[in-house]
Structure 1
Amino acid sequence: MTTQSRPGHGRLDPGLDAITSERRQLINIAYRLLGSLAEAEDAVQETYARWYAMSPQQQDAIESPGAWLTTVTSRICLTLLSSARVRRETYVGEWIPEPLPERTERSTGRPGGTTVDPADRVTLDESVNMAFLVVLESMTPAERVAFILHDVFRYSFAEVAGIVGRTPAACRQLASSARRRIRDSQGPASPTVQQAGIVRDFKQAWEAKDIDALIGLLDPDATAIADGGGLATTFLRPIEGGEQIARAWVEIADRRPGDMTFLERTVNGQPGLVAQQDGVTVTVFAFEVAGDRIKRIWAVRNPEKLRRWTTG
């Protein structure tokens, strides 16, 4: 698995460059832990608020500010994960992690000015593709934190133990359990070029309303899940079976407005599709491809989760 560099363990310069450097790492950790960039931003913002609430003497007494920031962010995320389980029980329909577009710099509106979107701070590797994030959602908060910090960001179990409040041996077991979940839920990934070709073929068959071609591209046991969050019309329950999905997608094509277009886009670092209406993204489709068939489709229509796709 691709890993990220560890946060610096030297003194944290209060200058903007040093803060930005730490913030990038914290956003990467928090997004993987929470599956929501908006919540990740809030967690990191709260971390910095706690840092600056300390006196200079208290800050100087912290031997490794980078490690302190990571610990605080992770603990905030751990608390949010516990409360998220309660919130998602009342969520309308299925909950899917927030999809991220390709990196891009967005204009500030000022002449010659640019601002880096928080999404640009998330490194899009295999630890952030939609299939991976969905499996993380099935884990307990402690499993998720132990696994992400150790397996993805290479923290020792002794360091993880200090964050989650358990022994290193317990954290090792948590990460092992999480690892099994990942292994049991995902097969060998197809090469990205092959995935892109299959997604392209799916788009063309969908636009042509070719149900036989769609069935041929879908695994017989494929699943399609949509997330409208109660804010966008969508199917509330997963659709099971390749043929059933193909028929549903043809029905979607029959009902689509004339000004809607489908475009190939990168979604969380993997080939995907977006539906745009009047140039505004209204749905993002992420895919899990196994071999030469599509195994899962995630359709995100909740406008609150598409803000990164509709601004800039």
Structure 2
Amino acid sequence: MTSRLRVVIGVALLGALSLPGCTAADDDVAAYVDRAVAEMRDGIHADTAEFQDAVTAAEGELKARETISDAHAGLGELAVAAGGIHSFFLTPAEAIAARSVDQPGATFPVPSVSTFEGISTVSLPSFNGQSAEAEERYRSAGLTAMKRAADATTCGWIVDLRTNGGGNAWPMLAVAAPLLDDGDVVGLRSREGELAWARVEGGGVVSTPGDAGTETPGGFTIDAPVALLTSTTTASAAEIVAIAFAGQADTVRVGARTAGLTTGNEVRELSDGARLVLTTSYDVDRTGTVYDGPLEPDVVAPPGSVPSDLERARDELRARCT
């Protein structure tokens, strides 16, 4: 038995995996492997000969393992074959540890805003929560800080994604939404070509490819130039945020190319509590461009450059607000 949840996560960020579901290891090894492989067949590369060859080569050996836990590492390798480098496998112990961010009173970084000479920088950290309480804390911190800075922000906004390795994309997008034009801003396209969109209206996220509860009310909008700061650490959900600005006027990406995990994942919980994190879709921007690799900056400013990447972003905004 499995349970499913559509999420967008970064490979180093496991807290997005808080799911209800089966916890009893009631399968024998062969049945467990069969069910895990069946789930993998939704991966973006699972229709390839390479994946089938990988299953053929590994399946017999995995089914012959003495215990289910002995098969976990091999199933992790098959997950990558099915979904690519954005896919991975969590053991039951890793899955339990990943839930900590959703525990009452848990601490985690939230968005913050600083203003310098009329330019405000919104720092969007990684976010791994799935509980309504954790998501609201993240969103509220960011939107409250932006509202407080709005009057003093006379020359544009920087969205700093340099240290954001991913997590739950939709609270991040909710913080960025006041800066986004209305419309379908970023989507996920399945292997078969089916599209699911995140839509912004009036500064709120009115729909996403995620579960119910990912919508936000809006009512606060900002019309100003935007610079997106990226690095090689910017990954997955953070790339979703960057892609949401693609094709929007008065927007520029500054920094270094991103990690290239521009795909969407689904989490499949297995009968022993292990979790298969499987890439099942590609990111799509408002113009219809489909992504499967790094985002290149418009202005290259790697870490350590002179002037700094942050100062280059400010220069780009100053040029647009004069």
Shared fold per TM-score greater than 0.5: no
TM-score category of the 2 structures, normalised to the smaller one: under 0.3
Q: Larger strand proportion, structure 1 or 2?
A: 2
Determine which structure has greater relative contact order: mean sequence separation of CA pairs < 8 Å that are 6+ residues apart, divided by chain length.
Answer: 2
Q: Whose helix fraction is larger, Structure 1's or Structure 2's?
A: 1
What is the TM-score when the length of structure 2 is the normalising length?
0.26
